[in-house]
């Protein structure tokens, strides 16, 4: 990595250092207010970004960070207040206007066109033309290759986006944003879908851009990233601006207090739980070309963490266990009985539950309401009578209980799930599986992209479930989460299990070593 | 809301209790208002231009609702298909195919018979089952193609649309079939001529209950809302989709029986563009083409809006060409209004 970064520094010399302008700040937001029907999303918010700094925005989901970023990126227009760029007031009616003014944004949801190539995605609307006015693909691919060389990204400019992993798509987004050569670069949770190794790579790129005088706005929920990469940060809460500080001046606890307006003493409320019998035993599970000879046991009350890089096969093992994409060979033993699981329905009947990795893609029924989302996995059994009628009244009571237990913020059960924040959506999806009374709970990235408050609640819920004797498999790319929550950590690398480490011996170094060997 | 940390578990005091609530105002209300608005519009224009009432005319209202019934029965099936996120372009041709084949079993003894010369006066249930069965078979094939070969519903049902029309023409070599038994004719003219309406309303009510209150309906919505999430939730998507397409075909077959019993003849060219009218009824009624949203009641009102418009234009003696031009515009406006409403809801 080090030699690579040295190389990185030398090639990027080609990018000109940003020209001077008559202001201390490259970007300034003054007294902005933004209302949506029924809600004030931002009230009197200000933000100042110095050139050549990384400025983190912190706050729980719903604090107003994303709305503020969308105003800066020209997606929303403020009701009041102004945006100043390089000391001059600008009006940004469209994302295009913002781009042309020198503001680039990397969105949290990847906004790439899947059937098109990497190069086409990066240069869309700016395609190099040949003398007939047609798109010059050779030049376009060359420009992409140069960009990738500069950023030390190893991807083929001609591959289709749909062939790439989520992490690689994220790198394409980053390269695209960099290619605009902007003065301000906004990154909305760029690390939520990538692993530690790629995060390190991203940070190299960020440090380099910072050295070129670019002002970087960095939204994150991850505290350790803040201390590693950010120079300054601003905190928001409930649409209000709270404070701006240098990250060297504060502690983690200070920031959490500013964000939530209260103390959260226990981030990982792990409790020692008396372990029961082995409930799930997997031997030599193999899916050709994806993972091989995966073996492990989980006991009742145990939390087994799954660590490893994205693409190491962790999620694939979970999908095989749950019958989403069944394994080719190997045995699965549930409560002492060998079972064959070829579809999710069988897995549910065996007492298994699976919270999938991607909330939007494989989790939420976005057009449906909360109750309909919660009851989706129990329509096979006791809540349906012989004629097929659903006991909606009973299910509404059960949904209310679950929403209260999980503290879902909603007026009632008939709110559409698409109107909830990410953290609340995640709680509803967890609720869906709680309603099935699972004995074996598989959680794939249970706290990805949700705020600290909701995160702590989900962690304490997982602990409670373990207490109640549920066997939990928790896949996570967040090292503190894996280390903080797990009894044992199973580490995967390129489809193989490279080790199962006990809680007492697990630390960041051991696990990274097994994951990246 | 305040929070305190007691021991190691995060606890919350002063929790606002979640209470049971009735679902919000049904979205059909706005479509119903549109229906009323259009009716009043024709009423006013009627007095101004033609000098008579549009609504206070029992036989006109009966014709409107009779005409709506056939499209309406089809639209109930098509609505379910659209809610799964699919589309069915084959309904009109399936109507013709079911009609032609079933009609040859419905003829009375005095009529010269092309296909089954020996048959005499079968009870009405035989042609009815044949027609409904042919429709269901066509729907089953649609569903099977879509789920097993993974071709898009648009293509699978487009193929069925062309083939079924071909079968309808080939079956009697293009000649129409008439001369039905009295029993069969009752399907179109019984209960003092209201039979099609009774069948339509019974079908609509039945599937309204199915869609709202049964597991079958919940699965349909779930698959349309997010097929991948539905699969992870343990729903057998392929089996369910085959059922939904089969129902859509079955209802097209039923609509065909009602139609030929009413007009007393079956022709290979019948049912042209019925699929588009059915889709239009659903879309005007608020069913989302992206799946997961919409209700049978909306579709029923949507079909009525189409029927009232058609009758209204004729009543005002507007040329048929203009009728189609205006109808097309109204379908587009309905979708634009619906999307606008949804965007607004998303932002708030």
Distance of CA A379 to the CA centre of its chain: 30
Chain B hits for A324, CB-CB cut-off 8 Å, are: 231-232
Q: Do B213 and A392 touch (CB under 8 A)?
A: yes
Q: Is residue B5 part of a domain?
A: no
Q: What pLDDT digit, counting tens, does each position of A144-196 carry?
A: 999 999 888 899 999 999 888 888 888 898 899 889 888 999 998 888 777 77
Cβ neighbours of residue A43 under 8 Å, at least 6 residues apart? Answer: A33, A239, A240
Asked if residue B246 is part of any domain, the answer here is yes
Token look-up 């607004």 returns B344
Is position B47 within any domain? no
- Domain assignment present for B270: yes
pLDDT given at position B4: 38
Q: What is the pLDDT of residues B86-135, one digit of tens each?
A: 999 999 999 999 999 999 999 887 777 777 777 778 889 999 999 999 99
- Decide: A500 and A288 in contact? Cβ < 8 Å: no
CB atoms under 10 Å from CB of A288, counted, come to 10
Interface list for chain B against chain A, based on CB atoms closer than 8 Å: 2-3, 5, 8-10, 12, 15, 17-21, 23-24, 213-216, 218-219, 221-222, 224-226, 228-236, 288, 291-293, 344-348
Q: What is the distance between the alpha carbons of residues A430 and A127, in angstroms, rounded to a whole number?
A: 44
Question: Does residue A338 sit in helix, strand or coil?
Answer: strand
B15, B206, B232, B243, best to mutate vs chain A, most A CBs in 10 Å:
B232
Contact B20 A460 (CB under 8 A): no
CB-nearest to A418 from B12, B214, B346 is: B346
Burial of A391 (0-12, 13-18, 19+ CB in 10 A): middle
pLDDT of residue B119: 72
Calculate ∠ Cα A294-A440-A311, nearest 5°. 40
The answer to whether B72 and B89 are in contact (CB under 8 A) is no
Distance, CA of B248 to CA of B84 (rounded, Å): 12
Q: Where are the beta strands (DSSP E) in A224-277?
A: 232-237, 240-246
CA–CA dist A376, A436 (Å, integer): 10
Contact residues for A59 (Cβ-Cβ < 8 A; gap 6+): A65, A235, A236, A237, A242, A259, A451
Q: Which helix (H) or strand (E) holds A279?
A: strand A278-287
A264-351+438-517 CATH pick, 3.30.565.10, 1.10.580.10, 3.30.70.1380, 3.40.50.300 = 3.40.50.300
Q: Does residue B104 fall inside a structural domain?
A: yes
**Domain span holding position B318:** 27-37+53-341
Pick from A32-41, A93-102, A164-173, B203-212: least confident: A32-41
- The whole-number pLDDT of residue A37 equals 65
The pLDDT value recorded for residue B122 is 86
Candidates A183, A190, A275; CA nearest to A229 is: A190
Which residue is closest to B19 within chain A, CA to CA? Answer: A412
Among all chains, which residue has been given the structure tokens 């082995």?
A278
* B269-284 burial code (b ≥16 CB/10 A, e <16): ebbeebbbbbbbbbbb
Tell me the CA end-to-end span of chain B in Å, nearest whole number: 23
Q: Could you check whether A2-110+183-260 and A264-351+438-517 share the same CATH topology?
A: yes
Residue B131 domain-assigned? yes
Q: Is A40 helix (H, G, I), strand (E, B) or coil?
A: strand
CB contact under 8 A, A362 and B229: yes
> Nearest-5° angle of CA A208, CA A209, CA A211?
65
Q: Which CATH number fits domain A2-110+183-260: 3.30.465.10, 3.40.50.300, 3.40.50.2300, 3.40.640.10?
A: 3.40.50.300
Asked whether residue B290 is assigned to any structural domain, the reply reads yes
Q: Is A85 helix (H, G, I), strand (E, B) or coil?
A: strand
CATH of the domain at B337: 1.10.3470
* pLDDT tens track for B10-52: 333 334 467 776 656 677 788 899 899 999 999 999 899 888 8
Residues facing A33 on adjacent strands: A80
The DSSP letter of residue A26 is: S
Say if B33 falls within a structural domain.
Answer: yes
Q: Which residue bears the tokens 């924040």?
A: A421
Residue A8, pLDDT score: 42
Query: Angle, nearest 10°, between helix axes A452-467 and A422-434?
Result: 10
The pLDDT score that the predictor gives to residue B334 is 77
Number of Cβ atoms within 10 Å of the Cβ of A200:
13
Residues linked to residue A338 through DSSP beta bridges, in sequence order: A333
Q: How many domains does chain B have?
A: 1
Chain B positions touching A322 (Cβ under 8 A) are 232
Q: Which residue of B has its CA nearest to A394?
A: B20
Domain ranges of chain A: 2-110+183-260, 264-351+438-517, 366-436
Mean pLDDT of chain A: 86
Identify any residues that bridge with A291 across adjacent strands, giving them in sequence order: A287
Contact A387 B214 (CB under 8 A): yes
Higher pLDDT, B204 or A112: B204
Strand-pairing partners, residue A281, are A297, A333
Q: Are A271 and A463 in contact (CB under 8 A)?
A: yes
Tell me what percent of the residues of chain B surpass a pLDDT of 90: 62
């Amino acid at each position: 990595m080090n030699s690579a970064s040295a190389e990185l520094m030398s090639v990027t010399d080609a990018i000109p250092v940003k020209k001077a302008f008559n202001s201390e700040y490259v970007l300034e937001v003054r007294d902005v207010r933004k209302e949506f029907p029924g809600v004030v999303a931002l009230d009197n918010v200000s933000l100042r970004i110095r050139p050549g700094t990384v400025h983190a925005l912190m706050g729980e989901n719903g604090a107003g960070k994303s709305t503020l970023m969308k105003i800066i990126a020209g997606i929303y227009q403020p009701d009041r207040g102004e945006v100043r760029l390089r000391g001059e007031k600008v009006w940004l009616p469209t994302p295009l206007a913002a781009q042309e003014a020198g503001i680039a944004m990397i969105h949290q949801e990847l906004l790439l066109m899947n059937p098109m190539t990497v190069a086409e995605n990066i240069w869309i609307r700016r395609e190099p033309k040949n003398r007939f006015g047609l798109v010059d693909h050779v030049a376009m691919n060359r420009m992409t290759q140069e960009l990738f060389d500069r950023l030390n990204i190893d991807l083929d400019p001609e591959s289709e986006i749909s062939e790439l992993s989520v992490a690689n798509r994220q790198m394409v987004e980053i390269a695209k944003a960099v290619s605009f050569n902007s003065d301000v670069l906004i990154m909305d949770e760029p690390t939520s879908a990538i692993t530690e190794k790629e995060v390190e790579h991203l940070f190299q790129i960020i440090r380099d851009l910072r050295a070129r005088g670019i002002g970087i706005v960095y939204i994150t929920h991850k505290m350790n990233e803040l201390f590693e990469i950010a120079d300054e940060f601003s905190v928001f809460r409930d649409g209000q601006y709270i404070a701006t500080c240098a990250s060297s001046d504060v502690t983690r606890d200070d920031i959490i207090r500013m964000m939530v307006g209260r103390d959260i003493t226990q981030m990982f409320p792990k409790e020692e739980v008396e372990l029961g019998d082995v409930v799930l035993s997997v031997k030599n599970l193999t899916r050709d070309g994806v993972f091989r000879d995966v073996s492990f046991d989980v006991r009742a009350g145990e939390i087994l963490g799954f660590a490893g890089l994205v693409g190491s096969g962790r999620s694939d093992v979970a999908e095989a266990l749950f019958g989403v994409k069944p394994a080719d060979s190997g045995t699965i033993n549930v409560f002492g009985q060998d079972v064959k699981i070829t579809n999710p329905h069988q897995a549910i009947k065996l007492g298994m539950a699976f919270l999938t990795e991607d909330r939007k893609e494989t989790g939420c029924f976005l057009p449906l309401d909360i109750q309909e989302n919660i009851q989706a996995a129990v329509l096979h059994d006791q809540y349906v009578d012989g004629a097929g009628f659903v006991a909606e009244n009973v299910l509404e009571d059960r949904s209310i209980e679950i929403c209260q237990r999980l503290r879902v913020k909603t007026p009632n059960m008939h709110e559409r799930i698409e109107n909830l924040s990410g953290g609340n959506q995640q709680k509803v999806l967890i609720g869906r599986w709680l309603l099935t009374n699972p004995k074996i709970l598989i959680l794939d990235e249970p706290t990805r992209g949700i705020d600290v408050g909701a995160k702590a609640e989900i962690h304490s819920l997982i602990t409670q479930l373990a207490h109640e004797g549920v066997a939990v498999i928790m896949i996570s790319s967040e090292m503190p989460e894996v280390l903080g929550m797990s009894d044992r950590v199973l580490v995967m690398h390129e489809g193989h299990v490279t080790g199962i480490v006990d809680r007492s011996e697990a630390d960041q170094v051991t696990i990274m070593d097994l994951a990246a060997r | 809301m305040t929070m305190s940390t007691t021991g190691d578990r995060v606890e919350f005091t002063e929790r606002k209790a979640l209470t049971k609530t009735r679902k919000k105002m049904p979205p059909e209300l706005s479509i119903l208002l549109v229906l009323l608005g259009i009716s009043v519009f024709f009423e006013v224009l009627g007095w101004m231009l033609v000098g008579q009432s549009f609504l206070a005319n029992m036989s006109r209202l009966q014709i409107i609702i009779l005409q709506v019934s056939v499209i309406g029965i089809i639209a109930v099936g098509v609505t379910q298909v659209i809610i799964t996120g699919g589309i069915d372009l084959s309904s009109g041709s399936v109507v013709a195919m079911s009609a032609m084949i079933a009609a040859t079993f419905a003829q009375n003894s005095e009529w010269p018979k092309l296909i089954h010369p020996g048959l005499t006066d079968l009870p009405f249930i035989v042609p009815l089952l044949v027609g409904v069965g042919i429709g269901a078979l066509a729907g089953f094939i649609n569903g099977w193609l879509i789920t097993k070969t993974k071709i898009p519903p648009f293509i699978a049902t487009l193929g069925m649309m062309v083939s079924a029309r071909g079968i309808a023409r080939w079956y009697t070599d293009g000649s129409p079939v008439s001369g039905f038994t009295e029993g069969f004719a009752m399907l179109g003219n019984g209960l003092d001529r209201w039979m099609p309406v009774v069948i339509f309303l019974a079908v609509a009510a039945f599937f309204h209950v199915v869609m709202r209150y049964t597991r079958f309906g919940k699965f349909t919505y779930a698959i349309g809302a997010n097929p991948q999430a539905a699969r992870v939730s343990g729903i057998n998507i392929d089996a369910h989709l085959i059922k939904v397409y089969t129902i859509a075909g079955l209802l097209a077959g039923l609509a065909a029986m009602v139609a030929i019993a009413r007009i007393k003849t079956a022709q290979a060219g019948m049912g042209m563009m019925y699929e588009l009218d059915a889709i239009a009824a659903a879309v005007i009624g608020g069913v989302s083409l992206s799946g997961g949203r919409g209700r049978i009641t909306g579709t029923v009102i949507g079909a009525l809006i189409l029927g009232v418009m058609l009758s209204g234009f004729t009543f005002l003696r507007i040329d048929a060409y203009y009728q189609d031009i205006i109808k097309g515009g109204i379908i587009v406006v309905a979708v634009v209004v619906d999307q606008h409403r949804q965007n607004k809801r998303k932002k708030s």
